[in-house]
Amino acid sequence: MHFYIPVLTSLEEPQNTKTFKLTYNEIDYTNQRMIMKTKLVNNALNYYLENQSELRNELLDFLRIPSISTSEAHQPDILLAADFLVKKLTQLGFEKVISFPTANHPIVYAEKMVDPQKPTVLIYGHYDVQPTDPLDEWNSPPFEPQIEGEYLYARGSSDMKGQIWASVSALQSILRTTELPVNIKYILEGEEEIGSPSLEPFLKQNKALLSCDIVINPDGGMLAPDKPTLIYALRGMAYFELRVFGPSADLHSGLFGGVVDNPANVLSRLIGGMHDELGRVTLPGFYDRVREISPEESEELSKIEIDEEVYKAITGVPALGGEVGFQPVERIGARPTLDVNGLYAGFIEKGAKTIIPAYAMAKISTRLVPDQDPEDVEKGFRAYLEENAPESVRWELDLLSGAPAYLAEAEAPGVSFFIDALKQTWGVQPFRKREGGSIPVATSMKDILGVDSIITGFGLPDDQIHSPNERMHLPTHAKGVQTLIRFFLSF
């Protein structure tokens, strides 16, 4: 390679591992280069300031497209969202802008190669969004973006059309004021919220096209508006559907209650037994491969200072739950969990109906940490059911999706530039955290393309992603754009 990407092992000020003796000419040159860079950065930042509202209006148009990936009815909107990106990237002067068809939703690829000798940054994004239900809990329609105070409300504003737009805005600000000092590739999928089924095959088939030195994945988030954050770990996932069958049809609960076991009762008992008094998951072997967090890392994470009170304020719960013996940031980032995502059984309409339902169902997800394996978790789940489900019912368990956790073993390439850009923008030292959410593509990219990701993003914990009234904090978004401008211009 013809370039040098400094690699940081801690968040200390970057230090030169070697000391060079510079001649006066070289010092002069270095200074001149610094002054030049500062000028380029300022020009791009000014461009962004001047064009901020136009760029934001374009984001509003993007947000108006209801690209819900899980909904068949919204398939045409998915195509509209992909086309929207194709048009925008073409307008920015990207080449090879291609919308690759897949078994489901297209993957948009684009590149701007300025010089093959220079490093290449691959930017990941997803243009699909979560469904909007419960719709009546939205204060304004999810696909009619509203700006209120410092917030922009719309489905996908934070997760993650707004994040895609942050990099688009940064690149436009650079491309309209100077030349890019680095090659850029985009890969934008439309299936993230349904588990990215087409992405791995696409990565495998297009390794050469996607070859890169640095990956930016802005699908993560920040700790708080004043805490610029770099994510070094993500949780994995094993997602299940558990179905419990009882009598062949719903029965009168008076005529049969007492002799026929109730699948809803059984399912509740089974779920109730999945945690012990200490908040630990009871599935056999669940913790066997959990990598314990070191005292040093635990100490480091405690500096984040996001405590119980903060989580109570964000979520509105009167008290927190979870595993005894770990601080909240550890329980979220470094410990595995099991949650019921949805439950169905029997009569759920208004009023009363006296039945023993024939059937009960639960969607159950586990969030995994290194080195848990989704298939082992499934085995443990089956063992739990074999042991605990009564003979009075029949059960079925499906693993709907599985992905291992992600932990950057070393710093991802380019991280030190990114940390500097965060630091310059926010004026404080960035925090490092383990994220509780899952971004399975980070692991796929590491395995297939061989590059660790810079996992970042300018969303906040109270952005209500996947919930009603999803929103994006505009000042944080603007700082995100500035950070990306500084990052891209640091090469």
CA angle, residues 27, 33, 36, in degrees to nearest 5: 140
Site size toward ligand BES, by CB under 6 A: 16
Asked if 395 and 245 touch (Cβ cutoff 8 Å), the reply is yes
Q: Looking at 216-224, 268-276, 335-343, 376-384, which segment touches ligand BES (CB under 6 A)?
A: 216-224
Q: In this complex, which beta carbon is closest to ligand BES, that of residue 119 or of residue 333?
A: 333
Which residue of 159, 189, 378, 435 would you call a contact of Mn ion, by CB under 5 A? Answer: 159
d(CA 136, CA 109): 36
CA angle, residues 213, 217, 221, in degrees to nearest 5: 145
d(CA 81, CA 62): 7
Q: Looking at 54-62, 219-227, 311-319, 389-397, which segment touches ligand BES (CB under 6 A)?
A: 219-227
181, 401, 411, 442, 489 from 178: Cα distances, Å:
9, 44, 29, 31, 10
Which residue of 160, 214, 264, 293 would you call a contact of ligand BES, by CB under 6 A? Answer: 160
**What single DSSP character describes residue 323?**
-
Q: How far is the CB of 391 from Mn ion (least distance, A)?
A: 43
Which residue of 191, 192, 330, 376 would you call a contact of ligand BES, by CB under 6 A? Answer: 192
Q: Looking at 16-24, 248-256, 316-324, 436-444, which segment touches ligand BES (CB under 6 A)?
A: 436-444
The answer to the question of residue 190 lying near ligand BES (CB under 6 A) is no
Q: How far is the CB of 339 from ligand BES (least distance, A)?
A: 11
- Residue 221 interacts, among ligand BES, Mn ion, none and using kind-specific CB cut-offs from 5 to 8 Å, with ligand BES
Q: In this complex, which beta carbon is closest to ligand BES, that of residue 221 or of residue 336?
A: 221
Residues of span 11-70 touching Mn ion by CB under 5 A: none
Q: How far is the CB of 50 from ligand BES (least distance, A)?
A: 30
| 24-53 footprint of ligand BES as x/- string (CB under 6 A) | ------------------------------
Which residue of 220, 246, 370, 402 would you call a contact of ligand BES, by CB under 6 A? Answer: 220
Which residue of 106, 162, 190, 195 would you call a contact of ligand BES, by CB under 6 A? Answer: 195
User: Helix %, strand %, coil % for the chain, to 5?
Assistant: 35, 20, 40
d(CA 294, CA 288): 17
Which residue of 55, 160, 199, 215 would you call a contact of Mn ion, by CB under 5 A? Answer: 160
Burial pattern 47-72, b for ≥16 Cβ within 10 A else e, equals bbeeebeebbebbbebbbbbbbbeee
Asked if 252 and 355 touch (Cβ cutoff 8 Å), the reply is yes
Q: In this complex, which beta carbon is closest to ligand BES, that of residue 419 or of residue 465?
A: 465
Q: In this complex, which beta carbon is closest to ligand BES, that of residue 389 or of residue 465?
A: 465
* CB-nearest residue to ligand BES: 437
| 210-249 footprint of Mn ion as x/- string (CB under 5 A) | ---------x------------------------------
Which residue, among 134, 133, 129, has the nearest Cα to 69 in the 3D structure?
A: 129
d(CA 14, CA 9): 9
Q: Looking at 127-135, 155-163, 243-251, 264-272, which segment touches Mn ion (CB under 5 A)?
A: 155-163
Q: Residue 334 forms beta bridges with which residues?
A: none
411, with CB counted inside 10 A (0-12, 13-18, 19+), is buried
Show contacts of 449-452: CB within 8 Å, 24+ apart. 449/122, 449/203, 449/207, 449/210, 449/211, 449/212, 449/215, 451/122, 451/212, 451/213, 451/214, 451/215, 451/412, 451/413, 452/215, 452/408, 452/409, 452/410, 452/411, 452/412, 452/413
Which residue, among 142, 396, 427, has the nearest Cα to 270 in the 3D structure?
A: 396
Q: In this complex, which beta carbon is closest to Mn ion, that of residue 160 or of residue 408?
A: 160
Which residue of 159, 189, 191, 378 would you call a contact of ligand BES, by CB under 6 A? Answer: 159
What is the pairing mode between strands 229-234 and 394-403? Answer: unpaired
Q: What is the DSSP string of 69-82?
A: TT-GGGHHHHHHHH
Which residue of 213, 219, 376, 411 would you call a contact of ligand BES, by CB under 6 A? Answer: 219
Which residue of 174, 439, 448, 460 would you call a contact of ligand BES, by CB under 6 A? Answer: 439
Q: Would you tell me which residues interact with ligand BES (CB under 6 A)?
A: 159-160, 192-193, 195, 219-221, 237, 403, 435, 437-440, 465
Q: Would you tell me which residues interact with Mn ion (CB under 5 A)?
A: 159-160, 219
